[in-house]
Structure 1
Amino acid sequence: MSRSTRLRRFLGAVLAVIMACTVAAAPAGAAAPPEPGNDPFYQPPAGFESTEPGTVLRSRPVDLAAFALLPQKVQAWQLLYRTTDTQDRPQATVTTVLLPWGAKPDRSRPLLSYQVAEDSAAAHCAPSYQWRQGAGNDNIVTQAEILLVDAAVKQGWAVTVPDYEGPDSAYVAGKQAGQAVLDGIRAAQNFPALGLDGRETDVGLWGYSGGALASGWASELHPGYAPELDVKGVAEGGLPVNVEHVLDNVNGSAVSGLAMSGIAGLSEAYPELAGYLDANLTPEGREAFAEVKTLCNPQAVARFPFKDIYSYFSNEDPLNHPVARDVLAANTMGKHTPTAPLLVYHSVNDQLIPHEDVDGLVDRFCADGAQLSYRRDILSEHVALTVTGAAGAINWLKARFAGEPSRPGCDTETVASSLLSPQALATFGSALLNALLALLGQPIR
């Protein structure tokens, strides 16, 4: 048995233990909250367009739950805030902000913006809804990532988790995501209940896969869009650099529904793409893409496995049309070099996102003077590295918040596993224990 197979089996056993604890500790089901489209909280007030990006438009305390059932003992609020969409129009979206249980305002507390891999083109799949008690488990990926957010809160950090796809669920739209992340940080910094130090707050970003897309775009847009933010570091893993390459990679695979969600999401950000789809999808294709806009990531994958999504088009080579080419080019990373230190981690065996794209982006950033650490992981694949790379990301962010300088320039290492260091193993063990305690209702502090 290979070491990578043993690692996958170990991670499967860990997940089984967590799910067993979930079932054992689950209280009676709570009533489902209204979905975003039926919840007045998500509707911006008249005149919000004239406010500055990052302005908090309204707020409310919320009770969060893991897997919709298990109350998480953290302090949490939701903020409706003003941001800017792909077409540079005013927009309002929501972020969920968290503090450790019982924590008092502390102006020295750092702020982490954690971006989940929502990976869906439907509004009810966003973390602000999925983490509400009783919301259901339509997006199990987002549900599971609350455990990584718990691990961040356990460090004593304030955490903001934005619905970076915006109210139209513009999945894969990079500019939309990056601006919503940065404005979510602005909103959190100025929310009095968090007690942060405004613009002087130390900020970090973290995300994996779809969450890395949002984090990566935020890091690129940061110097021009929100230069006042004091970003100490950005950790991004499983980074989808080139959307076209990812679409081609997953098309016809077990997860081809992800590609459909990505195209559907982009059509919400680019009216010209929506028109192109309307003109070139077959009747079956129109029906399928309309359906995928109602599904979260797991349902889309289950509904459209091994589908050649290009067969839904009446024209040949649909990605080679000028409209499609322009939209895909606009959403390819690498247009701006980040000024904040970066940690990039990626599996060389990633079956969804070609590592060659990440290698190329790293080389490009480094040639332009970026401060970057790149870890190429051998024993993982795309899903496994979500877990095995998390401890290294937490440790790296802890060091940045502690004022430790990152390595100068760029350094690249190909490692057997991101988990196989004493520091990472210790953090992983602590995070696993704390996740189990959080699922069992222990305060996160």
Structure 2
Amino acid sequence: MKSGKAELIAIAEDVWLNASVLQQLGGLPQDGISHELALLSTNDSDDEPKTSKSATRSDAGEGNKPQHRIFNASGLAVFMKLAIEYNDIFSNGNGRLSLLLAPLFAVLPLVSAFPAQLPARATAPALPVDDPFYIPPEGFESSAPGTILRHRTPPNPIAALGFAKVNIQAAHQILYRTSDSSGNAIATVSTILIPHNADYSKLLSYQVAEDAADPNCAPSYALQLEAAHDGILGLVIPQVELLFFGAALNKGWVVTVPDHLGPKAAFLANNLSGQAVLDNIRAALASSSFTNITSDPTIALWGYSGGSLASGFAAELHPTYAPELNIVGAALGGTVPKIRPVIEAVNKGLFVGLVPSGIQGLANEYPDIQQLINDGLKPSKRADFNKTQNLCLSGDILQYLGQDIYDYTNDRNIFDQPAAVKVMDANAMGQHVPKIPLLVYKSVGDEISPVNDTDALVETYCNAGASVEYKRDELSEHASLEITGSADGLLWIMDRMNNKPVQQGCTKSTAVTGLADPKALLALGDEILTLLKAILAGPIGPGVVG
């Protein structure tokens, strides 16, 4: 068997050499592919950590254009191909991913048929760490949570997969005041998206799976045209989630996407994330003078994986932190109730990169965790571990692919030390009971967070009187359920937006696949068609024809 990185390079070559997408869409020079592959194959020789985000990525040449930029549609192809190929290596070999990723993978060849729709390349937007918009004004700490500190039209248009301008009515970025894990004032950014023919009385807060310890991975940056980061795959993970909230836009709902990890990218500091979500909604309600959102809209939450953590904590904190908000429900997919079991579940596998990014994310928020890292890492491995500070989710996956995280530490019990246990327990789900209805959908074969943890979480909620519809899916795994389970999420939120009564109490069902329901198949088709519509610059919104 080839090494993980060699295998990835072979996969990338296979995808790129067979994808007319690159020739027709990317504007990539003839040697661009081989150049990027060479960078990837030699990446391990770079033993020096990047100490300055500004120096390493904003000094990218003329027009602030990244030096190592690859067309993100190809990045999406590589990532999906990677997931398919590595299914047999890093999971139980039942072929789930290759079967269920097929619908979205099929979108990519269609893109190449419409090159005329794509815009010329734009200048890359300034990274968040270099953009003064992200710096709060002096004295902002005295303002109330949810206060708008400043707002603007995004520097670059919102884009599908980073390259195709999305045809919506308007987009706004808001810097707003929120709170960190200790209750201190911080500021973060949300992106409000307004479709054509918008229904301003319906607001969806969609939390993407940012899952990174680098502030430059923020959704407010990732969703812009020509946003680029860490080589081949870049920001493909948050960008592909347009598949889901794009369908919401096409129904006329206003969508707000918060940078829920805060200004320091505090991945897994979930109390902070929950508060950031709720304050992002408060800011959206205060934005009516420039967004036209009504004063009392119907509000729903949605997120998958890391996005479900932010959404779930928002649901748990809602009764005490922001009880005035009219939130009618939350759809939580790929839930991750506890942090500690994830470390063992992903170690040596495809998603082991979540461990350094997650631990560093906690260190960005908790000094005790930073001290734990400082004391617990082998000196010879410190530089490699610290690379996560300059990587987004897909970059973390590539950097640490298949490795044993304990090869980095002096003590294999490092994550069981009191400081680690205290922080991980403080950021576990189930400490409060949501008062709003929940949809929870979860893969029985989830290889990141064991399904029994979600079973226990739902039982905790139900025993305390919550209303939960719990759907377990047998055919999927974590990555594939984000796509196939999104149909259930969209349909459930549609019912909440349309004021359909919720059955009180709890229901639990296990199906081979949620796509056995014809309504779910239609909903998934709607999502894919909306993505294609976005790529082809068709107007997004109900009742509009491009």
TM band (smaller chain): over 0.9
Whether 1:439 aligns to 2:535 is yes
| Partner SS state of residue 110, structure 1 | strand
Whether 1:26 aligns to 2:92 is no
* Structure 1 partner of 2:188: 93
| Preserved CA contact (<8 Å) 2:203 2:255 | yes
Change (3 A) 1:373 1:21: farther
RMSD: 1.8
* Structure 2 partner of 1:246: 342
- Deviation of 1:378 after TM superposition, in Å, equals 1.0
- Deviation of 1:311 after TM superposition, in Å, equals 2.2
- Deviation of 1:389 after TM superposition, in Å, equals 0.9
Q: d(CA) in 2 for partners of 1:8 and 1:23?
A: 27
* Structure 1 partner of 2:392: 296
Q: d(CA) in 2 for partners of 1:18 and 1:58?
A: 40
- Deviation of 1:5 after TM superposition, in Å, equals 6.3
For residues 211-222 of structure 1, the aligned pairs below 5 Å read: 211-222=307-318
Whether 1:194 aligns to 2:291 is yes
* Structure 2 partner of 1:78: 173
Q: d(CA) in 1 for partners of 2:188 and 2:507?
A: 37
| Preserved CA contact (<8 Å) 1:118 1:139 | no
| Preserved CA contact (<8 Å) 1:21 1:436 | no
* Structure 1 partner of 2:77: none
* Structure 1 partner of 2:159: 65
- Deviation of 1:12 after TM superposition, in Å, equals 5.4
| Preserved CA contact (<8 Å) 1:87 1:269 | no
**How many residue pairs are counted as aligned between the two chains?**
441
- Deviation of 1:316 after TM superposition, in Å, equals 3.7
TM-score (norm 2): 0.78
Q: d(CA) in 1 for partners of 2:530 and 2:403?
A: 40
Letter in 2 for 1:80: L
Change (3 A) 1:48 1:304: same
| Preserved CA contact (<8 Å) 2:274 2:314 | yes
- Deviation of 1:10 after TM superposition, in Å, equals 2.6
TM-score (norm 1): 0.95
Q: d(CA) in 1 for partners of 2:111 and 2:353?
A: 25
- Deviation of 1:22 after TM superposition, in Å, equals 8.1
Letter in 2 for 1:59: H
Q: d(CA) in 2 for partners of 1:121 and 1:210?
A: 12
Aligned counterpart in structure 1 of residue 263 of structure 2, from 162, 167, 172: 167
Change (3 A) 1:39 1:150: same
- Deviation of 1:25 after TM superposition, in Å, equals 4.3
Q: d(CA) in 2 for partners of 1:55 and 1:83?
A: 8
Q: d(CA) in 2 for partners of 1:40 and 1:279?
A: 34
- Deviation of 1:8 after TM superposition, in Å, equals 2.6
| Partner SS state of residue 135, structure 1 | coil
Q: State which drifts further: 55-64 or 334-343.
A: 55-64
* Structure 2 partner of 1:284: 380
- Deviation of 1:427 after TM superposition, in Å, equals 1.6
| Preserved CA contact (<8 Å) 1:264 1:289 | no
- Deviation of 1:195 after TM superposition, in Å, equals 1.8
| Partner SS state of residue 253, structure 1 | coil
* Structure 2 partner of 1:207: 303
Change (3 A) 1:275 1:29: same
The structure with the larger Rg is 2
Change (3 A) 1:22 1:204: farther
Whether 1:55 aligns to 2:143 is no
Letter in 1 for 2:190: T
Whether 1:131 aligns to 2:223 is yes
Letter in 2 for 1:332: A
* Structure 2 partner of 1:375: 471
Q: d(CA) in 1 for partners of 2:375 and 2:493?
A: 47
Consecutive unaligned residues in structure 1, runs of 5 or more? none
User: What percentage of residue pairs aligned between the two structures are identical?
Assistant: 41
Letter in 2 for 1:94: V
* Structure 2 partner of 1:326: 422
Aligned counterpart in structure 2 of residue 41 of structure 1, from 115, 130, 133: 133
Q: d(CA) in 2 for partners of 1:147 and 1:5?
A: 18
Aligned counterpart in structure 1 of residue 406 of structure 2, from 298, 310, 326: 310
Letter in 1 for 2:291: L
Consecutive unaligned residues in structure 2, runs of 5 or more? 1-92, 542-546
| Partner SS state of residue 311, structure 1 | helix
Letter in 2 for 1:140: V
Q: d(CA) in 2 for partners of 1:23 and 1:6?
A: 28
Whether 1:338 aligns to 2:434 is yes
- Deviation of 1:315 after TM superposition, in Å, equals 2.6
